[in-house]
Amino acid sequence: MKEALNNHLKLAVSLILAFALMTVVAVAQKKTNAKEKSLEEKLAASRAELISAANDYKASLEKLIELLEKDVTAARETVERRKKLFEESVISKRELEESQRQLAEAEDKVFDAKKQISEADGVIAEVIAAEQMAKMKPAGAGAFISTIAFIRFTGNAGWNIAEAGKVQGFFSSRFGRSLPVSAFGQSVTHDKLGYDHRNAMDVAVHPDSAEGQALMAYLRSAGIPFLAFRQALAGSSTGPHIHIGYPSKRFAR
């Protein structure tokens, strides 16, 4: 009877210990889940904040362009007026050339502002794509993912923007023209938005075009990572292009 009592006590202790262990595991799992959820929420909030900042930046640039285009119109009118005056020998060639220089500067400012809007759109597209990729299964080295909106190749040979020359060399030898780079490394736009684009470049070719297909095939054969956009993602108006390099990220704060 004593032995039976001891067995019951041992069983009771075992059950208590098992229950305690299960409780500890459950609490630990709950904390882990809470941390993971908290991290996901922070990342989502950071992405939303970055998209908002990019849209605000675009809006300010669009207002600036309205003013800059007025400057272009005024400068163009000055050039036309001075052309007539020069033909009539009223002004010197130097005065005409000075007005032409001012027109070129005004046009360059409009071009630069539009380029910054395009870069901001590229940032928005990358952030939205990153959000979508975060919902997919983790992709290891050399993984290739293709969706209706974008194509991603994770690469397996590493990448540094200093290697851009070999990509440019391939493209020019294959198509007889320079690689149409729309964003190379870090720009004023990326700095203003706090977005790390230092080790990447964007190429203005459609992934499904002959040039895009050849470029992606080359990048895959060389193990170079890329993210190609087939269309504008909801929330971004950026056009089709290929982002060469690893996905960019926001600078750590």
137-149, pLDDT tens digit by residue? Answer: 766 778 898 988 8
**What would the mean pLDDT of 22-50 be, rounded to a whole number?**
60
Residue with the two structure tokens 């009877």 = 1
Say if residue 137 is in the same domain as residue 97: no
For 85, the domain range is 2-123
Indicate if 104 and 143 belong to the same structural domain: no
Taking the C-alpha atoms of residue 126 and residue 121, their distance in angstroms, rounded to an integer, is 9
Q: Is residue 135 pLDDT above 90, yes or no?
A: no
- Give me the residue label for tokens 């300010």: 60
d(CA 206, CA 149): 12
pLDDT value of residue 251:
81
For the chain, percent of residues with pLDDT exceeding 70: 82
Q: Identify whether 128 is part of a domain.
A: no
pLDDT, mean of residues 123-147: 84
> Which pTM value belongs to this model?
0.76
Q: Is 87 a domain residue? A: yes
Domain boundary among 90, 123, 156: 123
Among 101, 123, 145, where does a domain finish?
123
The length of the chain, given as a count of residues: 253
- Same domain for 186 and 104, yes or no, is no
Closest CA to 238 of 228, 248, 226, 247: 228
Residue 179 in domain? yes
